[in-house]
């Protein structure tokens, strides 16, 4: 028996179950067309909703920040001081989101790891949607709080659970804003009402709503007109914003509390000046114009409608996330492989990320896709779909 035998056994088990993840290699910037494993392919699986990952305005801002501030913050903000850039981004995000304040973290994942334990405490109760993101699940695991997992988007079940825990000293309701695998929305107005009736805090993770939903991409709270009624908005700067980082926006007191108690803020270095400057430039662009956001929605509407005409099932998405439902994992993998041979990069998603029998390609539409790009994709989907007997 070697000491690594369990690792080898688990890797083999993943391979046998078809769950082994072979990561593709990107050899260019991420745009409509991207070099993947040496081939130039139409990119339909990045979260680059608005094309900001390779936007000239963001790149210029990043380059200037490197010249002025260097490449790294060289410390944890609470210990060795925080750069003016990080403070500026936080102010800009708060203004953009119409919240009192915002605090930045290294990623959206870190933002949840910071916010959830700090807000739930030891004796709180967390009410969490069963399909919430892994970073929420892990944030909950870092607390000693009681966890109540409610059925997906089920406000009645949530209200009942809140009733049952009426005496809990702290109550925190957590939901994704946009659920990333299906593209459906949280029933946020109902969730907020239920929470208000029970003195519970609401945390919404708006990772796939930012830049996508609401006026100028202000997110799901803006989309539903709930400003001031959602206590905590967790955001990522690595999807529509095109950069990397995360944040929490909300009431001044809560944000201040996370600067004091959010462990990734206290014990891990800040993001780099280049990242932060690029994010500030992204806020500039979003505040000035909703041109990219409009193009994103137009592209998504056009592509979904044509796919449905072809006979594909594009699920229950309410956002530009376009699942192409294929059923068996083997069909999804084969579909993705053949598309790649046809120069279209769309990733298959299967169990355990989605339930068994619900395998799909998750097509991510972007504002950078041109009409020609979408028509090209459509032709290839039709070709592979017919070859595999899906349509």
Ligand X SMILES: *Cc1c(COP(=O)(O)O)cnc(C)c1O
Residues belonging to the active site:
180, 208, 239
The phi and psi torsions of 93 (rounded to 5 degrees) equal: -65, -40
Instruction: Give least dist CB 276 to ligand X, A.
Output: 14
Give how many residues touch ligand X by CB under 6 A: 13
Among the listed ranges 36-44, 106-114, 155-163, 281-289, the one in contact with ligand X (CB under 6 A) is: 106-114
Q: Give dist(CA 131, CA 136) in Å, integer.
A: 10
Distance of CA 387 to the CA centre of its chain: 33
128 binds ligand X (CB under 6 A): no
Residue closer to ligand X by CB (options 44, 159) is 44
**Cβ 150 vs Cβ 158: under 8 Å:** yes
Query: Binding string to ligand X for residues 171 to 190, with x set by CB under 6 A, is what?
Result: -----x---x----------
Structure tokens at 381: 């989907």
208 in contact with ligand X (CB under 6 A): yes
Of the pair 110, 378, the CB lying nearest ligand X is at 110
Q: Does 97 bind ligand X (CB under 6 A)?
A: no
Binding mask 210-239 for ligand X (x = CB under 6 A): --------------------------x-x-
Instruction: Report if residue 275 touches ligand X, rule: CB under 6 A.
Output: no
Residue 46 touches ligand X, criterion: CB under 6 A: no
Neighbouring CB atoms inside 10 A of 288's CB total: 9
**To the nearest whole angstrom, how small is the minimum distance from the Cβ of residue 39 to ligand X?**
25
Helices vs. strands in the chain: H and E counts, helices first: 15, 13
The yes or no reply on residue 153 touching ligand X (CB under 6 A) is no
> Can you tell me which of 55, 101, 205, 210 binds ligand X, judged by CB under 6 A?
205
Instruction: Answer yes or no: are the C-beta atoms of 162 and 146 closer than 8 Å.
Output: no
Q: Residue holding tokens 């069963």?
A: 130
Q: Shortest approach of ligand X to residue 240 CB, angstroms? A: 11
Q: For residue 136, give the nearest of 149, 123, 124 by alpha carbon.
A: 149
Among 246, 273, 320, 385, binds ligand X (CB under 6 A): 246
CA distance 336 to 380: 11
In angstroms, the Cα distances linking 44 to 141, 303, 317, 363 are: 33, 12, 16, 5
Smallest distance, ligand X to C-beta of residue 175, A? 9
Nearer to ligand X, 48 or 331 (CB): 48
CB-nearer residue toward ligand X: 55 or 373: 55
Interface pick for ligand X out of 34, 46, 99, 135 (rule CB under 6 A) = 135
Would you say 114 and 248 are in contact if contact means Cβ atoms under 8 Å apart? Answer: yes
Residue 171 makes CB contacts below 8 A (sequence gap 6+) with 124, 125, 127, 162, 165, 195, 198, 199, 200, 201
Nearest residue to ligand X, scored by beta-carbon proximity:
108
Which region among 26-34, 102-110, 189-197, 320-328 touches ligand X (by CB under 6 A)?
Answer: 102-110
For residue 127, give the nearest of 233, 193, 203 by alpha carbon. Answer: 203
- If one asks whether residue 143 binds ligand X (CB under 6 A), the answer comes out as no
CB of 233 to ligand X, least distance (A): 12
Contact status: 48 vs ligand X (CB under 6 A): no
- Does position 362 bind ligand X by CB under 6 A? no
Nearer to ligand X, 159 or 364 (CB): 364
Which two tokens mark 285?
């662009």
> Cβ 107 to ligand X, closest distance in Å?
3
Residue 109 interacts with ligand X (CB under 6 A): yes or no: yes
List CB contacts of 202: < 8 A, sequence separation 6 or more.
172, 173, 174, 175, 191, 192, 195, 229, 230, 231, 232
Instruction: Indicate whether 299 belongs to the interface with ligand X (CB under 6 A).
Output: no
Q: Which string of DSSP letters, residue by residue, matches 300-341?
A: HHHHHHHHHHHT---TT-SSSEEEEEEESHHHHHHHHHHHHH
Q: Where does residue 261 rank: exposed (0-12), middle (13-18), buried (19+ CB within 10 A)? A: middle
Note whether 133 binds ligand X by CB under 6 A.
yes
User: Between 238 and 317, whose beta carbon lies closer to ligand X?
Assistant: 238
CB of 182 to ligand X, least distance (A): 12
Contacting positions for ligand X (CB under 6 A): 107-109, 133, 135, 176, 180, 205, 207-208, 236, 238, 246
């Amino acid at each position: 028996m070697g000491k690594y035998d369990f690792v080898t056994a688990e890797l083999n088990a993943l391979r046998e179950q078809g769950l082994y993840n072979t990561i593709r290699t990107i050899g260019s910037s991420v745009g409509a067309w991207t070099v993947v494993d040496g081939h130039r392919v139409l990119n339909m699986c990045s979260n680059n909703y608005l094309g900001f990952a390779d936007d000239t305005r963001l790149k210029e801002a990043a380059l200037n920040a490197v010249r002025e501030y260097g490449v790294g913050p060289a410390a944890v903000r609470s210990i060795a001081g925080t750069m003016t850039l990080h403070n500026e981004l936080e102010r800009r995000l708060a203004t953009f989101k119409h919240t009192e304040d915002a605090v930045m973290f290294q990623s959206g994942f870190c933002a949840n790891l910071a916010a959830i334990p700090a807000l739930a405490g030891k004796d709180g109760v967390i009410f969490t949607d069963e399909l919430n993101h892994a970073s929420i699940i892990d944030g909950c695991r870092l607390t000693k709080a009681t966890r109540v997992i409610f059925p997906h988007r089920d406000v009645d079940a949530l209200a009942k659970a809140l009733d049952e825990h009426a005496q809990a000293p702290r109550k925190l309701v957590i939901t994704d804003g946009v659920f990333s695998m299906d593209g459906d929305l949280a029933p946020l107005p109902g969730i907020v009402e239920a929470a208000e009736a029970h003195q519970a805090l609401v945390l919404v993770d708006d990772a796939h709503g930012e830049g996508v939903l609401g006026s100028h991409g202000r997110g799901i709270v803006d989309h539903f007109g709930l400003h001031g009624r959602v206590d905590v908005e967790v955001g990522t700067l690595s999807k529509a914003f095109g950069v990397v980082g995360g944040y929490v926006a909300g009431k001044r007191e809560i944000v201040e509390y996370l600067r004091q108690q959010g462990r990734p803020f206290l014990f891990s270095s800040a993001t780099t000046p280049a990242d932060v400057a690029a994010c500030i430039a992204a806020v500039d662009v979003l505040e000035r114009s909703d041109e990219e956001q409009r193009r994103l929605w137009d592209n998504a509407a056009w592509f979904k409608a044509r796919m449905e005409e072809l006979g594909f099932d594009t699920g229950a998405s309410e956002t530009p996330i376009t699942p192409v439902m294929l059923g068996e994992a083997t069909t999804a993998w084969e579909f993705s492989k053949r598309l790649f041979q046809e120069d279209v990069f769309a990733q298959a998603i299967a169990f355990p990320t989605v339930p068994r029998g619900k395998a799909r390609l998750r097509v991510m539409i972007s504002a950078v896709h041109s009409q020609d790009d979408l028509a090209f994709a459509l032709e290839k989907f039709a070709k592979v779909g017919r070859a595999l007997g899906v349509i």
